[in-house]
Amino acid sequence: MPHHVGIIMDGNGRWAKTQGKGRLEGHKKGAEVARNVVQWAKNLGIKQLSLYAFSTENWQRPKLEVRGLMSLLSVLLPKTLPDMMQNGVRFKTLGDLSPLPSSAKRAVQKAVEATRHNTAIDLILCLNYGGQQEILAATKNVLRQALLQDHPEQAIEALTTSTFRDQMWCHDIAPLDLLIRTGGEMRISNFHLWDAAYTELYFTNVLWPDYSQQHLQHALADFQGRERRYGLTSEQVQS
């Protein structure tokens, strides 16, 4: 069973279109599915679940849709807080929250604080998140620290992939084992780029509002049938 699963929840808008509804209705339905997926993941033994809720590029969407998404976050997150407490969900975020509206930031901060002692599963909501932006922020941190040293070049030469990841937003989260994308698109869209080096990828045509527990189980079964070699040969792994 993967320890950390990430999901790109794609297809809300297309689902709404097939139903003759506005895009925001698709996002509302998608939020219901996200709430269910956390429970399914917990029951299946997953310890960390990253949901790609809003990317750094999503600000370019129509203003009405962006305002609607931020409003959904402000309204729905407090409503799900009792469930998170009851089910032992620890709520965390990944990304730069500073541009979010104050109401959304308050809802996020309250959920983070209220659930910080829960241990059943970590729900990591990726908000205003981008993998390139995360790597760039880590690089700046590394350079700032190196410049404070007596020998900056030596500090930079001593850098490893492990110590670099310690400077990333995801430093306190386990590396991603399985990345699931719904909606039929076959790209990772700036999501967990550093960990994607050896993350197992799983793509499905199912639109996110139609995603079910059975679909999640299929993805996990597929993952369990794979051999993760990390650059080794199959014989080396098996031995």
- The active-site residue out of 12, 58, 96, 210 is 58
Task: Specify the DSSP element, H or E, that contains 113.
Answer: helix 102-114
Which domains are assigned to the chain? 4-129+175-238 (3.40.1180.10), 131-173 (no CATH)
Using CA atoms, how far apart are residues 121 and 45, in angstroms rounded to an integer? Answer: 9
Establish whether 10 is a catalytic residue: yes
- The active-site residue out of 10, 122, 177, 195 is 10
The HSE-up count of residue 43 (CA atoms within 13 Å, CB side) is: 9
CB 131 within 8 A of CB 104: no
Q: Identify which of 107, 98, 89 has the alpha carbon closest to the alpha carbon of residue 51.
A: 89
Using CA atoms, how far apart are residues 190 and 196, in angstroms rounded to an integer? Answer: 10
Establish whether 36 is a catalytic residue: no
Q: Is the pTM of this model over 0.85?
A: yes
Q: For the chain, how many residues are written?
A: 239
Q: What are the pLDDT tens digits along the chain (239 aa)?
A: 999 999 999 999 999 999 999 999 999 999 999 999 999 999 999 999 999 999 999 999 999 999 999 999 999 999 999 999 999 999 999 999 999 999 999 999 999 999 999 999 999 999 999 999 999 999 999 999 999 999 999 999 999 999 999 999 999 999 999 999 999 999 999 999 999 999 999 999 999 999 999 999 999 999 999 988 888 788 878 87
Q: Identify which of 110, 85, 84 has the alpha carbon closest to the alpha carbon of residue 97.
A: 110
The HSE-up count of residue 169 (CA atoms within 13 Å, CB side) is: 25
